[in-house]
Structure formats: structure tokens, C-alpha cells
A and B are shown apart, each in its own frame.
Chain A
């Protein structure tokens, strides 16, 4: 069997294994969320001022909230299997459409953050490990500690104060310039301009993490026997570091990045809120208080699927980084 067909089979098997996991997550989430008191109708009616009990009963009937829980669950599962995530009564829109709309914003923020954080994390960690116990190492370590320990919302606000209010380089918030409504290439530039501050803010936290990990991982690898052998063979330090040590040291960092993709969706609530970035985290947060369970379940479903897929990708990256690891 060639390597590519092996990987193909492996992916298929892993995806099949993912299905029961995701179903279990959906069912557990469904019951957990229903434990919260009050439902979407209460919130809608509360916001509307006064609403009669008849009106509320009518709404519940319309939303299907008057059915017993197991029936509601069955209906939901049936919909999910036909790729329909249901209807958000609060937003008066199909959940699919809502999530798709917001996922683009989240995806953009997530991707740019991961690239920035992992990229710079690896670079800084490498640099610190190579210049161990010099002033460069000290500066990087202190920088990592400070960014890791600083609360995200504070970093975000300070970014706004410095780069928006004082320097005027970037807009304070939002995803597009709403006075202009750009199209085409201008739109891309506009969105990128708005993306800078939230990405830097969110990256800083993860950057610190990856820097620390990369540094520790590099140091561990330097102590391995194969490095001694390589030196004895007369390889240059450059070659030892970049060809042998770096590849092995990347493994734990890649693992960590895979695990954190899931966390990024939820963890960006603060950044999304501070920068008014219209992503999924904020949507999930609001739906919780609005008891918009269909929407919330949809978001959970999407993020669990994402975690399954990303972990699969990470496993595949493994076997390219380290040929000793084989898929089966």
C-alpha cells in the first residue's frame, strides 16, 4: 500500500470515529443547555416590554418549545442529520445562514492569529534556545511572561488607546468602514486594516505560550543522544539546529496549536467584544443570554467538528515532520 492510500484510509476511519463523538457532544449539550432556567420566549417577551401569557404560549408553540424535551431532541437530531441546524427564533434566520455569515469573520481572525502566534512563537523560541542565557534569551523570556500574564481585554483597550486614539493608525472597532461601504479590492484592504489590532491582541497571548514551549522543546532536543552523534559526525551547529533539532522540537508545538483551535473560537469572545469583531464567539455569548438554544447548539456542533478535523490534520502533519511516525 502506498503512503497516500494509507493516509486516505486513515482519514476515512478517523472521520467515521468522529461521528459518535460529535453526536454525544450534541446530546450532552442539549440537556445541559435545557437545564438553564427560562427560554427564548421569556427573553423575547421581557425585552418587548409587556407581553400576554397567551402570546407567549403561542410563541412557544411556534418555536416547538411546548413539546417534551425528548421529542425536541429527536426533532433536532433529525434536522442535524439532514444538515439543517434549525431556526434561530431570536434572529429570525436559519442557523446555517447565521453561523456561515459569522464563521467567515471568526475564520479570518483565527487563521491570522494562528499564523502570527505559531510563526513568531517558533521564531522567538528558537532564537531564545540558540542564545541560551544571553540578554536576548532574557528579553524574550520576560516578554513572553508579561504578554502571557496580561489580561486580553486590557491589552485590547490599550491597543485602541495607543494606536487608534493617540496615533490614529487603525480604526477602534468593527470589520469594515461603515461610512464608506467599499467594494472589491478596497474592501479587502479595509477589512485587513480592521483586522490588525484584534489579531495582534489575540496573538500576543498565544505567542507567549508557543515561545515558551518552543524554547523548552528545543532545549530538550539539544540534550538527546542523536545531537551528540551528529556533532561527532562533524555536522555544523547550523545543520544540527535547523535540520535535526528543529523538526523534532516542532512536534509538541503543532500538537498544542491543534488543541487550541477549538479554544480559539470560544477564547476570542473577549477580543471580539472589545473590537466589535462580528465573530462566532460573541454570537455564542449573546445566544446564551438570549436562550437561543438552536443557535448555541449549532455553534457547539461546528466547533466540535472543527476540533475533530484539526486534530486529524495535526496527526497527518506529524508523519511529515517525523517520518518515523506512520498512520495506521
Chain B
């Protein structure tokens, strides 16, 4: 399969020469599942998942990334960095036009990064924090000036992370409320046509796309179907051909996989790196002592959780970093992460730390909050209640709706332990630092350091990890970071979630990008 994919990719890039030996067919409508319906289409303001499914087909980034991690030039043809790493020059593609016919130039890049992403994007201020200014010596050159080298920045130029938006439609307006939000004008292979609330979003082929011969599809329609069983039925019936981010629940995916016309892959999530975890309140309550948190990490049978609750899709965590960071040599396996759990060892830790069992065998009581994103997490809570009960930690489960839960954990810090999952993104600086740095204790900001863990030594290491251009030194810094975190455990990482893409085998050419469902689909085609 891999081979086929790479030949498709090659074909895509060689297509200008008219390599007729390949079977790509033009035409047809791809309908795929978007779940849930997005709140807005402003992908430059919100990184909400369903927006990511739709908008990278309309807006493009400077680069895309292949499954093996290589960069694919999109709006930038190439880049070069100065020796000190503080100047990065992008050579932009010529002849690219916005969907309204205006030319795409370096001024758009400058405006997008400095005025939009750095200011209103949820993660942009982090991705581009070292960028002080962008020079535009001509229409096709953008020079980024950095305070410090930022090696991680080069991983965040995808259409999902950093969409390039038209300056002429945003300049002088309030960016967050500009009408561009739901009338998007991009440079991408598909043009936005209409959003029928409660039903679908329709995108049509951009006939003037800068890459001749692409896209193959005439139309892409993202459908909203609220009920999971109906989504599965629509997939079985061939009414939708592609479903990512577990729009089809694992329990159905393992059944659909048996069919000849439907297949399942876990590829397309390596830039997202979702990690399931437990956050602890380290400032007050029963989990102030790191020994208890360590004992919890040791007691949990991660393999059991993956196999039983997630139908085998997942990898046990072996440190605070996802094993996908092995590719950049940042991941190191750590102690206190036994795959199958070791209750005897966990009990020994608690005994040694002086937590005595009472007459009922209970050492301490706590409340476990659960992320309200579906049934799987309730199951996870039920497992944890049982597993931690065995080591004398008696849990009460609490399951609230999204706004109530967010308020509790990130505004009031009114929690003891909380099951959650975080996207670690393509680099730890982008996805992991926000969970542990002292500067990330930001009351009222969601999905940052809610544990309020603060360790000056760790902060210094995180800083050097972010700005270190030398690969070997960077590896060493992250090793030490992971050691500190494995010891203090402000967060117990459970397992790397493996999201699924369920797709009809009729749909080809949509699987080469590391962005997966957040990719452009410009090389996707239907083959009956």
C-alpha cells in the first residue's frame, strides 16, 4: 500500500509531464463526514477539529508534510536559513491567485503571520513567538527575522496550523469578526460554495488552481450526521466515503474493516500526536505529593485500557513525550511507565510514603473528572476507579458537559484529577511545553498547565529545548525534561491515542499527507 501511495504522490508531482501510465481520474463528488458541525470556518482564529477537516481544502500553507516527515512545497517553493538560524528566507510560488482573482504575494505572508496568526490564532503566538518581523524585498520573497533560532517553527507551516489568508480581505478590519470567516477566499484546490447549516458544506473544484491538472475531484461535500450509528450506516451504504477523527466509532470500525470496500488506517495523525492523560491538581487536595502520582502511573494497566476500551488502537505511553518524537530523536523511554501496570510496586510506593489503609482498605479518597467527549472516556474512568481502588485510592467519577468541565478545570482549578487528552503536535515546543511551563499557568486559558506545576529547573530546560539549533544538545535537553517529568508526574500520561480513518477503497490518493484528514485532498480521486 505504501508503495502505491508514494507512486501516487510521485505521479502527482510529475503530472505536468503528463505521465499517462497512472490511473487518476478526474471528476466526481467526494462526500465525507465532518463531525461535529464546525462553529465557524475561520481556521485562522480557531483550531477546532471539524474546521480542520474542511478548511485546508480552501486555504493553503507554505508547506505540507508527507507521512515520512519530508516537507512538500506548497505556497513556498523553497526556504533557506542563515548560519545563526535567525533569518529564514522563503521563496514563494509565482502565479498563485486567490479565489477572487487577486494575486498571492509576500505581503499576504507577512500580514498572515504578523497580524493574524501571531495575534489571534490559538497556537500561532507560540509557533511564531521568535518572529520579530518579516521583510518583503519583492512579491515572491518573505524573510522571517527571529530573536532566537526556532527549529520547531518549520513543522508548523501546514494549511491546518498556519493557513495563509488574503490581506486584501482582512486588512483594516477586526480580524476575529471579519466576514471572511464564513465566506472564505483561499488559494487552495477547492473553492467554498455554501454551508447549509445542519446539513453540509460544499466545496467545488478551483479550475484556476496553480498546479495544472489538480485537483481531480469536481466537488467535496462535508456532511454532518449527528448520530454515530447513522454515520456508520451511511459509510456502509457508500453515501460517505471518508471518515476521520473517530467519526465512525472504533467498535464499528473493526466491523466495517472486514468488508471488501472499506478499509481503516491509523496514518494521517502524526502531526497531531494525541496523548491521553491524567492531570493532577498539584497545589491542593490529595495529589500534592509526587509519590502518589507516581504510584498511580505505576498501577495503571495501559495495555488493558487500549485493548478493552479502544479496541487495540493506541500505544502505551513510555514518557511524557509521544513515541512519534523518536523521528526527531527527542523521545526517551522512562521508568514509572510499566505497560501492564504493577500494583505491587504501586502499593509499595504508597506504603513507603506513609499512606496507611483504613479498615476498608482505603488510603485516600478523590474525585476523578472525565473529559466529556464521548463514551470511551467514561469507560476509561470506570477502569481507573477499579484499578486505583486496588491500591487503596477510592475514586468518585464526575462527568459534566463541556462548558461546566472547562470552567472547573481551567478557570477555577476546582478539581483533583482529570482525565483528558492533549495534542502534542509536530514538536514538543508546540504541544507539550504548554502543559508544564510555569509561564503556562494561565488561569482561564484552556488546555494549558492546569496542574499549576512549577519547576524553575524544568522551565530553564524547556527554554533551551525550544531555542537549541544543535540537534544533539536538543536531544539531551529533552531527555532531562522527560526524566524530571517521570519523577514528578504532574501529569500521568496514559497512552498515545490512535485515531482512525475509515474510508471507502474507491477513494484513492487522499492518504499521503501527514496531515491526514486535515490535508488538501488535491490528489484524491475516485476509482470505481
Contact = CB atoms under 8 A, between A and B. Distances in A.
B223 interface: yes
Interface residues of A, number: 58
A252 interface: no
Contacts, number: 154
Contacts of A275: 227, 230
A276 B223 contact: yes
Given A92-B181, A283-B198, A174 B225 contact: yes
Central interface residue in B29, B182, B198, B446, by most chain A CB within 10 Å: B198
Interface in A290-311: 290-291
Contacts of B70: none
A172 interface: yes
A286 B407 CA distance: 19
Chain B interface size, as a band, is: 35 or more
Interface string B163-200: 00000000000001100011000000000000011111
Given A48-B122, A50-B434, A90-B39, A172 B230 contact: yes
Given A42-B403, A48-B46, A90-B39, A174 B221 contact: no
Interface in B425-449: 434, 442-448
Interface stretch (B12-20, B134-142, B231-239, B475-483): B231-239
Contacts of B407: 37-38, 42
A62 B225 CA distance: 31
A157 interface: yes
A39 B423 CA distance: 24
B202 A274 contact: no
A45 B442 CA distance: 14
Nearest to A175: B199
Contacts of B48: 47-49
Given A48-B46, A275-B230, A43 B445 contact: no
Contacts of A98: 197
Contacts of B411: 42
Contact of A53 (B234, B406, B444): B444
A196 interface: no
A286 to B, nearest CB: 8
Nearest to B122: A49
A102 interface: yes
Interface of A: 36-39, 42-53, 55-56, 58-59, 62, 90-93, 98, 101-102, 105, 153, 157, 160-161, 164-165, 168, 171-176, 178-179, 181, 272-276, 278-279, 282-283, 286, 289-291
Given A42-B407, A46-B406, A47-B39, 12 more contacts: A43-B402, A46-B402, A49-B46, A49-B47, A92-B181, A165-B236, A179-B29, A276-B199, A278-B197, A278-B199, A289-B401, A289-B402
